[in-house]
Structure 1
């Protein structure tokens, strides 16, 4: 069977200031100002379009002190995607920046790990350590989608379509999942928050907001195993993504990046 080759785009829709000491368990000896980018992703062929995560809107930007550059709907429009026409949204996990605009996709089926729904509606949400990144209204919105028969649950590994699959990694949240995509450069992995930055999986350093540190550490190896090479793993929040990969057009420089083509030569070209 010949697998389709997907175009994969990272769309930057928001950012915030950060400190390096806050990005790693145990802090960082070279503490300095840095930034965190917020993305959603498009995976498509001429026939089919899939969106990975939904991003958030101005309400979350105001509440959580993020800088919204464009709404997720506006970001998608820039690459020719109508959110209302999207049929499949893959949800990597239930944090506000990944499902905050869930209601912008009224006709989509949402693909998620059953363990993430259990986690986000169960006893763990009694604890601020786990619930601080979660908005109850977002979770309730996806619960309603269950009743509308618009949720597909996965338990571990699951195929969404030929050449497109999800894989539970855990760690950051109980049902954290990564997305594996077949492209013309081979198999790439959208890590989302299984690895926020390149440094996390490359140097085996854990992000502090974590449900299970052991699963997070083991998950770094799973990301690399699923990808053709380590350079085929794309982290979830690293500003370097926009620097390492080319924009689909000059007009989208700094807004969108093509992940299905090789990164710039200085960063490897596997």
Structure 2
């Protein structure tokens, strides 16, 4: 059976940036109060015959609305690694927040993989509360509903194999339906934690990020991510600029914004 599991390449593609203080990144704040910015990523999981995009980012209009800085568009970043957005057949959405589920027209032929709980969450009564709804964009949710009726949404419940060597796993926490992605690579099982942990520090110090639906699920999610990965060095947080420093660049031209997560960290 193991011989049938493919070794995928994984690219982390930075597309935006936001200046932020450390006190804003932990429940209860941070006594150090130092600069602790957010980088925004999409991920590409590339196999011999299939390519999967994990999350879709946001565009310039949303960056202007939310006060973020686009550093390279998602489309441009994917082009740099030889991927045409128009040809992508599979997109995995870890959760429906604006920075993970935007760019609604970028992947016109793709099927989207989503947890049942996340669709129920972002279209249900929890969205009556601004504290929970503010990271969502109504147009992104409407776009996903449109894809559903076009037959382009594949729902998953809990843990599910998407392809040999590639699976999704519900953890919740940050949103009710957040899923993480487990990928088999030449260096072993890598987990794309997305916003299960924004920074290495959140999971390493068990200090949750303050945008959260269920704190208990978030804490348990740290354990799940590490259980699914081959080592702590195989768990990749969702917004930490340190990812770009730890992993080798795709090439010289993309130094500092596209790295290979299937390679050994530096």
TM-score range, shorter chain: over 0.9
Tell me which residue corresponds to 2:147: 145
Report deviation, 1:28.
0.3
Tell me which residue corresponds to 2:25: 23
Tell me which residue corresponds to 1:134: 136
* 2:99 aligned counterpart, secondary structure: helix
Deviations 1:146-173 (A, max 9, x none): 0000000000001110000000010000
Tell me which residue corresponds to 2:172: 170
Report deviation, 1:103.
1.9
**1: distance between equivalents of 2:35 and 2:218?**
25
Aligned length: 264
In the TM superposition, what are the counterparts of 1:30-179 in structure 2 within 5 Å? 30-179=32-181
**1: distance between equivalents of 2:79 and 2:263?**
21
Report deviation, 1:124.
0.2
* 1:4 aligned counterpart, secondary structure: coil
Report deviation, 1:32.
1.3
More divergent stretch after superposition (116-125 vs 33-42): 33-42
Report deviation, 1:70.
1.7
TM-score w.r.t. the length of structure 1 is: 0.97
**2: distance between equivalents of 1:153 and 1:46?**
24
Deviations 1:36-62 (A, max 9, x none): 100000001231111000010001100
TM-score w.r.t. the length of structure 2 is: 0.98
> Could you tell me which of 181, 184, 199 is aligned with 2:183?
181
Deviations 1:1-33 (A, max 9, x none): 211100000000000100100000000010012
Deviations 1:195-220 (A, max 9, x none): 00000111111000000000001110
Unaligned runs of 5+ in 2: none
**1: distance between equivalents of 2:89 and 2:133?**
29
Tell me which residue corresponds to 1:268: none
**1: distance between equivalents of 2:82 and 2:37?**
28
Tell me which residue corresponds to 1:258: 260
Report deviation, 1:34.
2.2
